[in-house]
Amino acid sequence: MDNDNSPLPTRKPSWLKVGIPHGQRWRSLSDMIARRGLHTVCDEAACPNKAECWACGTATFMVLGDTCTRNCRFCAVATGRVGSPVNQREPEELAGATAELGLRYVVLTSVDRDDLADRGAGHFAACVSAIKRDNPGVLVETLIPDFRGDELDTLLAAGPDVVAHNIETVRRLQGVRDARATFDLSIRTLAETKSKSGTPTKSSMLLGLGETEAEVLSAMDELRAVDCDILVLGQYLQPTHKQVPVVEYVSPEQFDRYAELARDKGFSSVVSSPLARTSYHAREGHEALSGKERR
């Protein structure tokens, strides 16, 4: 619905309450990540699924440091004009962490690195290659910045199994992103990925920023027009008071409705729930592409 004249919500509904991470499995994973000098988006972006995912021994690794050169108004990741020095040991440490945890499906994402000549594409690709080299059979999903041209060629040469890039929100509300990120550039990255490699593509939207249902459906249509395979819809949650406020808490029933409509539009896999994020149930999303159980 259109909430331009509605008061901002002041309290999270019951369906958004999540547990605090605890237990030996979570502590072991946390210690291992620190020992290897790695970063996870679970921590850096204050993901609401940290308790569930870490308890199962899964995590989404964030490469290229923990400082982003863009400043999106919905994101809690630290920002700066120049990112932190690139850890040249990161590809090997990621490969070792994958083996240590016995992972079958690894998700890699990154901060934006506009300060680097190739915007970090080469390092990103090296991380994919190292994981696959040392862990035969492991699938790697990459959630990338708006790479294009040679940058995208470099990444695709490493052979990721899924390439994700988020449009984040509907066209009208793109102002919550850094000015260098646009809806059209994001669509271009997804379209170019599919045209160059045929690799399955994925995108995500955060809801509750003031979008209308018609705008959400229009965004779905634009994603399907470039043959995007997997769609993730989740509730925007304001990480701190510095980010834009929540306009609406979208009900689980509305998320279910969007999931049904998205499948009708031809997405092969849809993950749509208040706590869903791009990497949430990522392996199940990939399995759905092969006709397996859809989550």
Q: Using one digit for the tens of pLDDT, what is the confidence trace for 101-113?
A: 888 888 999 999 9
Write down the domain spans for the chain: 20-289
Average pLDDT over residues 118-130: 98
Segment 17-42 shows an average pLDDT of 70
Tokens 């949650």 belong to residue: 237
Q: Tens digits of per-residue pLDDT, 265-278?
A: 999 999 999 988 77
Query: 142-156 burial by CB neighbour count: b if 16+ within 10 A, else e?
Result: bbbbbbbeebbebbb
pLDDT above 60 for 193: yes
Share of the chain above pLDDT 70, in %: 82
Report the amino acid identity of residue 211.
E
126: pLDDT strictly greater than 60: yes
Residue 277's pLDDT is what?
79
Mean pLDDT to the nearest integer, 175-187: 97
**Quick check: 244 pLDDT over 70?**
yes
Q: Which residue has the higher pLDDT, 52 or 31?
A: 31
pLDDT at 12: 84
Residue 25 or residue 213, greater confidence:
213
**Phi (first) and psi of residue 146, to 5 degrees:** -80, 60
pLDDT for 213: 98
Q: Give percent above pLDDT 90 in the chain.
A: 67
Which residue, 121, 131, 142, is CA-closest to 92? 131
**Higher local confidence (pLDDT), 150 or 288:** 150
Question: Are residues 92 and 49 in contact, defined by beta-carbon separation less than 8 angstroms?
Answer: no
pLDDT at 288: 72
79-88 pLDDT tens trace:
999 999 999 9
* Model pLDDT, residue 295: 36
- Which residue bears the tokens 């209308």? 212
User: pLDDT band at 15, cuts 50/70/90?
Assistant: confident
**Average pLDDT of the residues of the chain:** 87
Q: What angle, 0 to 180 degrees and rounded to 10, lies between the N-to-C axes of helices 150-157 and 121-134?
A: 10
- pLDDT confidence of residue 19: 58
E strands, 64-157, are 105-110, 139-143
CATH number of 20-289: 3.20.20.70
Which range among 9-18, 37-46, 130-139, 186-195 shows the weakest confidence by mean pLDDT? 37-46
Q: What is the mean pLDDT of residues 162-181?
A: 97
DSSP 272: E
